Every structure is written in structure tokens, then in C-alpha cells.
Chains A and B, each alone.
Chain A
Amino acid sequence: MNTILLQNLVTPNVSLQAVLPEMIVAFTGIIVMIYDSFMPKQRMVTGALSLIGLAASAFALFSMWGEAPASSWNGMIANDGLRMSFTLVFLFVSAMTILISTVWTERENVPIGEYHALLLFATFGMMFMAAGNDMVIIFLGLETLSIATYVMAGLRKSDLKSNESAMKYFILGSFASAFLLYGMALIYGATASTNITQIASMVGKANFPALLLIGGAMLIIGFGFKVATVPFHVWTPDVYEGAPTPVTGFMAAGPKASAFASFLRVFVIGFPLVSGAQASAFLHESWVTALTVMAILTMTVGNISAIVQNNVKRMLAYSSISHAGYAMVGFIGAGVAKTMQDRDEAIAAVAFYMLTYAVTNLGAFAIVTLIAQKNDRRTEFDDYNGIGFKSPVLAFSLSLFMLSLLGLPLTAGFMGKVLVFRPALEAGSTLLTVMVVIAVVNTAISAYYYLRLIVVMFFRERTTSWLEPKVSGALAAVLIITILGVFYFGIFSDNVIEKFSGKPSVQSAQIK
């Protein structure tokens, strides 16, 4: 035994190249942290450093894209399409958030270096959640992400709402993490492994199938909280409303996508349907049914609650809940896919949906940040009264983002929805067809509150004075990128989706 240990010491199964994008982000985070502690007065340098780090990480990611799917670090890190496409989303979200935050950090005198360091560490956690092919790595990534976002939610220290947001997120988040960890322990008990590939090969012959079911249920609770699906969504509006607006945009786009990445990996890849094994069939059927019901509830409750909101941030929070529901339709589509290729395409569709949502949502939050002013004063619907022709650039871009969230053809939101609904519809089961129909009806319902904002902006009289906010260079860059993104993903979605589904997951590559 000792010789094996010693041999591992000399030639460990380590491939630094396989985690290069993550390493770059982590090191940039540390550099930013140290730089800020030596130069506390700087306002620009750490932001620039972070952007350079994220760009370098994206470059490393693209250079890895062509490689064949593989796993390294004793199977703990996967190098496949799921990881690549989601990691791209995280890097994009993080870079946009840094640009959007420039307005806010300037206005409220935030400890800027710490904020950037936290954002980078959160990004690092998200990347590991997508890359982890092992429950332990996924949990590690999740905790790194969560702890950083708890702090970020409470960064407006003197504001009670922000404090409440951070506290609520922290307590409920820890609770959800506990569920997740317990679920992972039970799954380990049933399959004798924390590795997703191993679990997938063991679900058919689990030691004690009931453990698998209970463990799976607990994992659904844990991930359901992070994704904000309906029975576990109650924290979302309060946390999103209280957190600083750029952080809200980040939370809605980044951590949600990362939770989807590991949710997909654990359930779709880890709990597949193994032919001839009754336990696995039962497990598969149960989680598909449970998630279908959750998806239906998530869409409906999210949309109906969004209608009655009077605060734009709260409305966007409920809208993010309903969008999690739409993404889950694609998720379930991936779960019931009959061939490996279909499955990988459905996974790519969910990643693409999260990308379109991130582009649209970050654009919308950029404008909400700009209009909100100091201490998020102007976030009610009334504050948007009649600004349409006073600040046409802002109003028209916000309208575009609302239409994309609604899913109007030619915008990113439309293509995202089409792609996630298709796999579920092709499965041909009645329940899934009903779910897709409900999803489409929900899209129609959501028109009410998305269009309401447009109506408020263009057709209401403004009673209070309107001071047009100055659009800084960084924010102009965000608006240009997101507007172009909305159109690009809406019209040329084929390019992106081909890139995303071009690399199969590790498991399906092994089977071939």
C-alpha cells in the first residue's frame, strides 16, 4: 500500500492544463485581493486586472474546446461540452457584472478591490460546479460560490434591506447546502462512490435502492433552492430586491446557471435509465416526474407573482424564477432523451438558454442599476413613468430586453425557448407535452408584466422630475454587447448551438 501511495506522490494524476481556466481565475482573484490590500485607494486597477484575468481564462477555455472529451484528476474534473458551454456563460456574466458595477461602486463608495476579489472567487466556484465530475468537487464549488455571494448580497452595509438580503440568503443557503450534502452522503452510501461516472454505472445495481431515492430527493431540494424552483423559491424575491442591483443581475444569471450545470450533471448524467434494472428505472421515473411537476409550478407561480409586483427588481426576481422553470423543461428533455446525441443536444440547449437569459438579464439589470441611483432609490414601476422619450436610448434598450425575456422572435429569448422546449416535446410522453403547453401559455401570461414596463415608460405621464443618468463608457460597452448579443443569439443561434453541442459529455464519449 505504501508503494502505491509513494508512487502517487511522485507521479500524481494531475493535469494542471485541464483546470487552467479555473486556475487563472483563482490566481487573478488572489492578485486582486493582495493588490487591493496594498493600494486601498485605487478605483480602476482591480477591475481592469479582473477583466484581463477573465479574458485569459476564456482564451484558455477556447484552446481546450477542440480536445476530445476526457476526465482527469482521477475522474474528478470533466472536460466536456457541458463544462465548456456553461463555463463560457460564467465568464461572460462575471465580465459584464464588473462593467455594470463600475457605476454602482463609484456611487456608493464600495470597497472595490474586495468586491472584485469576491466576484472572481464566486466565478471560480461556479466554474468548478460545471467542471466537477465528482460530488465532492461540485459541493466545494457550490460553497465557494455561495460564501462569496452571501457577502456580495450584503455589500451595502448601511442599508437594512441589503443586510436582510444577505442574512436570509446565508441562513437559507446553508440550510439548502446541508440538504445537498446529506443527499450526497446517501447517494454515496447506495453506490459506494462520489464520482458521477461511477454512480451512473452503479444506479442499476445499487446496494440499497431506497437510499438512492431519498438521496435523490434531498439533492433535488438542495439544487432546487440554488436554482430557485417553486417550492424552494421563497427566498428569491427578498434576496434579489435587497442585494445591490449589479449583484442581483449576477445572482440571477451566474449562480443560477452554475446550479443548473451541476444539477444537469448529477441527474441527467448520474441517474440515467439503465435498461433491465428496475431500481434505476424507478429512480429515473421518479425524478423526471418530480421535476416536471416542479417545472410546471415554477413557471406558473413565478409568472403570476410577477404580475402583481410594483418593484422592478422584484418583478425581475419573479421573472428569473419563471425562467428557471423554462430551463427545467429543457433539463427534463435531456433526462428523457433516447440517444446519447439527443441528450447532449438537450444539455447544450439548456446551456444556450442560460446564455441567452444571461445576455438579456444583464442588459436589463445594467439599465435598472443606472436608473436606480444611489441606495437603489428608483426601482419602483412609478419611477419609470414616462421616461420613454426623455431618455430614448435607455428606454428602447430596456424595451428590447423585456421583449427578449418575453421571447419575441428575432431576439435571443425566442431561440432559447424554442431550443429548450423541443427535446421535451419530442419525447412524446403526455405529461411532458402538457408541461410544454403550460410553458407556452405561461409565456403568454408573462407578456403582461414585461409589456407593462414598456407601457409605463412610453405611455404614462411623469409627475416627478426626471434627471437623466449619465451613461458611462463601461455601461455603454455593456449595453452595446448585450444588445448585439440579443440579436446575434436570436438570428445566428445555429453557430453557438453547434459549438455547444459539438463536444459530447465524457460519459457518452466513453460509451461510443
Chain B
Amino acid sequence: MNDFNIIDYAPIGIMFIVAFGFAASQILVTQLVGPRKRTATKLMPYECGKDPVGSARDRFSIKFYTVAVIFLLFDIEVLFMIPFAVAFKYLLDQEKLSGVAFGTIAFIEILVFISTLVVGYIYVWKKGTFDWGLQARAEAREEAKQALKERKQQAIRDFQRAA
């Protein structure tokens, strides 16, 4: 306990230096090498594709946020799957050694976990989150309906004229 050695923490220090160095080098390189074309859009603060100045009560597409939520879903899935995968090998060995079904139980448990996530996946799928052209398609459908209506009216008018 007492033999505290600062050298043991050197990797963390190196990690910090690399992190700072990476950030600084990126900024420097873009400043030196990158071409500069300033446009109004480029100079705007980044706000996920929304106009940053103006009323906050605008309507905006919610798609961006649902994607973030789904990302979280899969992110957490992976977060649990990796430790499981690491431990699974060890558990299988233990199963062979002791005869108790450690590996099988762990496998069933991870399946239960995945199936709960799949329920969420099915839900977002059915809700049309992956349907990127939803709005465009609805507009097209509306347009087609309008065109059909006009054609029908035209036909009626033609018929009346003929009569």
C-alpha cells in the first residue's frame, strides 16, 4: 500500500499529453493547411441544422432526436455485450471444470437482455423512425390525389361541354 510510485501513473500522464497534443495539432493543421472560404452558413453557430437566431417556437423535424435515442439503445447494448463476451469464455471454462452450467445461464441471461432491447427496436421500427422519406412520400401522395381530383373535374367539365 505504501509503496506509491509516481512512475506507475505515467501511462495516464502520457494519455493526457496525447489528448492535448491531438487537439492542438488538429486546430493548428486546419489553420495552416485548410482553405478558407467564409460563407454566411459556415459562420453561423452550429445548431443541428436549425437557424440559431429567431423564435424557439418553430416547428422542426424530430428525426434527429429519435436517431439519438436509437443510438443510445444500441450503445448500451454494446456496452453490456462486450463485458459479457469477455467473461463468457471464462464462464465456459468454469462450466467444464465444475459441471455447473455457468456458461449456459449467462447465455440465457444475455438473450433475455437482448430480447428486451429488440422490443424497443420493433417499436421504433413500427413507428417509422427508419423511414426517412416519410414526409416526402406523404407530400407526393397528397400531390397525386390532387392531380387525380383535377383530372376528374376536367373529365366532368369535358362531359358537360360535350353534353
Chain A interfacial positions (CB closer than 8 Å to B): 6, 9-10, 30, 33-34, 37-38
Alpha-carbon separation in the docked complex, A9 to B87 (Å): 12
Collect the chain B residues with CB atoms within 8 Å of residue A34's CB. Answer: 119, 122-123, 126
How many contacts A-B (CB < 8 Å)?
24
A189 to chain B, nearest CB (A): 22
Alpha-carbon separation in the docked complex, A30 to B119 (Å): 8
Collect the chain A residues with CB atoms within 8 Å of residue B102's CB. Answer: 6, 9-10
**A38 with B126: CB separation less than 8 A:** yes
Alpha-carbon separation in the docked complex, A34 to B126 (Å): 9
Identify which of residues 100-145 in chain B touch chain A, using a CB-to-CB cut-off of 8 Å.
100-102, 105-106, 119, 122-123, 126-127
Tell me if B154 is interfacial: C-beta within 8 Å of chain A. no
**B123 with A9: CB separation less than 8 A:** no
* A-B pairs with beta carbons under 8 Å apart, 24 shown: A6-B91, A6-B94, A6-B100, A6-B102, A9-B91, A9-B102, A9-B105, A9-B106, A10-B100, A10-B101, A10-B102, A10-B105, A30-B119, A33-B119, A33-B123, A34-B119, A34-B122, A34-B123, A34-B126, A37-B122, A37-B123, A37-B126, A37-B127, A38-B126
Collect the chain B residues with CB atoms within 8 Å of residue A6's CB. Answer: 91, 94, 100, 102
Chain B interfacial positions (CB closer than 8 Å to A): 91, 94, 100-102, 105-106, 119, 122-123, 126-127
Alpha-carbon separation in the docked complex, A33 to B116 (Å): 13
Beyond contacts A6-B100, A6-B102, A9-B106: 13 other A-B pairs, Cβ-Cβ < 8 A, are: A6-B94, A9-B91, A9-B102, A10-B101, A10-B102, A30-B119, A33-B123, A34-B119, A34-B122, A34-B126, A37-B123, A37-B126, A38-B126
B148 to chain A, nearest CB (A): 24
Alpha-carbon separation in the docked complex, A378 to B126 (Å): 37
B138 to chain A, nearest CB (A): 15
Alpha-carbon separation in the docked complex, A30 to B116 (Å): 10
Alpha-carbon separation in the docked complex, A6 to B102 (Å): 7
Collect the chain A residues with CB atoms within 8 Å of residue B126's CB. Answer: 34, 37-38
A249 to chain B, nearest CB (A): 28
- Closest B residue by C-beta to A160: B57
Alpha-carbon separation in the docked complex, A33 to B120 (Å): 9
Alpha-carbon separation in the docked complex, A480 to B127 (Å): 38
Alpha-carbon separation in the docked complex, A38 to B126 (Å): 7
> Which of B94, B102, B106, B123 has the most chain A CB within a 10 Å cutoff?
B123
Collect the chain B residues with CB atoms within 8 Å of residue A10's CB. Answer: 100-102, 105
Alpha-carbon separation in the docked complex, A34 to B122 (Å): 8
B123 to chain A, nearest CB (A): 5
Collect the chain A residues with CB atoms within 8 Å of residue B105's CB. Answer: 9-10
Collect the chain B residues with CB atoms within 8 Å of residue A38's CB. Answer: 126
Collect the chain B residues with CB atoms within 8 Å of residue A37's CB. Answer: 122-123, 126-127
Collect the chain A residues with CB atoms within 8 Å of residue B122's CB. Answer: 34, 37
A508 to chain B, nearest CB (A): 36
Alpha-carbon separation in the docked complex, A9 to B47 (Å): 47
Collect the chain A residues with CB atoms within 8 Å of residue B119's CB. Answer: 30, 33-34
